[in-house]
Amino acid sequence: MTATQRVRESVKVWDPLLRVLHWSLAGSVLVAFVTGDEAMAVHVWAGLVALGVVLTRVGWGVAGPRHARFADFVPTPGEALGHFRRLLRGEAVRHQGHNPAAGAMVIALLLMVLGVVASGLVAFDGNGAELGEELHEALAWVLLGLIGLHVAGVVLSSLLEGQNLPLAMLTGRKKPAP
C-alpha cells in the first residue's frame, strides 16, 4: 500500500498542537528524569517546561478541537472498567479519539506531572526540603510507572486495533472508527 493510499484510508484526529504538547511533555519528563541531581539547572528547567506543557494541555483540553477536549475522552469509571475488561479478553473497539483507558491515563499522567512538579518546587524552595525531596522522588517513580503502563497500553491497543498509534501521534491520522 502506498503512502497516498494509507492517507486516504485514515482520518485526521490529532491536531498539531496536541501532538507537539504530547512529545514535548515526553521529552521534558525524560530530560528531567535523566538529569536528576546531576544537572540541577537542566532538571529544574525541564520541570518548568513540563509544567508549561501541562497547563497548556489543560487549556487545550477545554478549548481545543473535538478530540483534544476532555469532554470527548474522559471516561466514567464504568466506561473505563468495561474497556479494561474487553482488553483483558483480547477484544478491542477502535475509538476515533482516545479510548477510555487512554482517556483515564491522560488524566492520571497530567495529574502526576503536576504532583511531581509541585513537590519539586517545594524541594527546590528549601522550606520542607527533605520531605519535598522524598515526595518528589517517590512521585517521579510513580510517574515513570504510569509512563510504562501508558506505553504498554499503546502497544497493546495498536496490536488489537491493527493500527500504529505512535505513528498516529506523529501524523495526526488514525484508521476510522467503525
Average pLDDT for the chain: 91
Question: How far, CA to CA in Å, does 48 sit from each of 28, 42, 80, 83, 97?
Answer: 9, 10, 31, 34, 28
What confidence score (pLDDT) does residue 22 get? 98
Identify which has the larger pLDDT, 123 or 25.
25
48-102 tens-digit pLDDT: 999 999 999 999 999 999 999 999 999 999 998 998 888 888 777 788 999 998 9
Give the CA count within 13 Å in the CB-facing half-sphere of 88. Answer: 6
3-state secondary structure of 11: strand
Predicted confidence (pLDDT) at residue 2 exceeds the cutoff of 70: no
The residue type at 117: V
Distance CA(109)–CA(131), nearest Å, equals 22
Tell me if residue 137 falls in helix, strand or coil. helix
pLDDT given for residue 20 in this prediction: 98
The whole-number pLDDT of residue 128 equals 60
Is residue 103 very low, low, confident or very high in pLDDT (cuts 50, 70, 90)?
very high
Q: What is the DSSP letter of 66?
A: G
pLDDT at 5: 52
Asked if residue 3 has pLDDT above 70, the reply is no
